[in-house]
Chain A
Amino acid sequence: AQSVTQPDIHITVSEGASLELRCNYSYGATPYLFWYVQSPGQGLQLLLKYFSGDTLVQGIKGFEAEFKRSQSSFNLRKPSVHWSDAAEYFCAVGLTGGGNKLTFGTGTQLKVEL
């Protein structure tokens, strides 16, 4: 079965600093990859997705992610973090032929220090 690992449970960065959130997946073929953000008490908002093509994908709110097949990774980055980026971030995987089912990681809680 496929799995998604987000190794960092909590990350704290200063406002204006760069950010990288890690995501590794376990699956034999290239999956579809997603990053979602969840603010307290809210549902999930899609930041970006990778289906195929260019391995560097741009998303909303200045986020980007790079798919690295050799490392089975899809890390999320932002060059300069804003205080409003404080939230929980989830990496998710969907499978070819797997319908719309998503498998999520356990999330990374981002704290931004002013």
Chain B
Amino acid sequence: DAGVTQSPTHLIKTRGQQVTLRCSPKSGHDTVSWYQQALGQGPQFIFQYYEEEERQRGNFPDRFSGHQFPNYSSELNVNALLLGDSALYLCASSLGTGGPDTQYFGPGTRLTVL
């Protein structure tokens, strides 16, 4: 049973560029959440996708956008990258949105913005 997978593992971009990160949820899960974890901090909730729509959003600017596909996989897009966007981006999957069902996290994508 494959767990949550994310690609790429590492990414280096320069300020002002755009980046797309990808996530495949655990088998049987239909909900994907994205978190940003800055160095030395706990993960911060970015947004959550269910039924191909954004259902919840944290305190992040609209430079951060996402998409969910019919197979439940998801993308996180960040435009106009800033140095402060350097972080580990974690994807988590779960079943439904009725409550905080157990979320399973992927290994993350390490984004470095130069």
Contact = CB atoms under 8 A, between A and B. Distances in A.
Interface in A27-46: 32, 34, 36, 42-46
A27 to B, nearest CB: 12
Nearest to B101: A100
B37 to A, nearest CB: 8
Given A42-B107, A49-B102, A94-B100, A101 B42 contact: no
Interface in A13-59: 32, 34, 36, 42-46, 49
Given A44-B105, A49-B102, A94-B100, A104 B42 contact: yes
Nearest to A1: B59
Nearest to B45: A101
A88 B55 CA distance: 30
B90 A32 contact: no
Interface in B29-45: 31, 33, 35, 40-45
A56 B15 CA distance: 48
A100 B95 CA distance: 9
A42 B108 CA distance: 7
A59 B107 CA distance: 21
Interface size classification for chain B: 20 to 34
A102 B44 CA distance: 8
B45 A103 contact: yes
Contacts of A43: 4, 90, 105-108
Contact of A107 (B35, B42, B103, B104): B42
Interface string A81-106: 00000000010101111111111111
B49 to A, nearest CB: 10
A90 B33 contact: no
B44 A100 contact: no
26 contacts: A32-B100, A34-B102, A42-B107, A43-B90, A43-B105, A43-B107, A90-B42, A92-B42, A94-B99, A94-B100, A97-B99, A98-B56, A98-B100, A99-B100, A100-B56, A101-B48, A101-B100, A102-B43, A102-B45, A102-B92, A102-B100, A103-B45, A104-B35, A106-B40, A106-B42, A107-B41
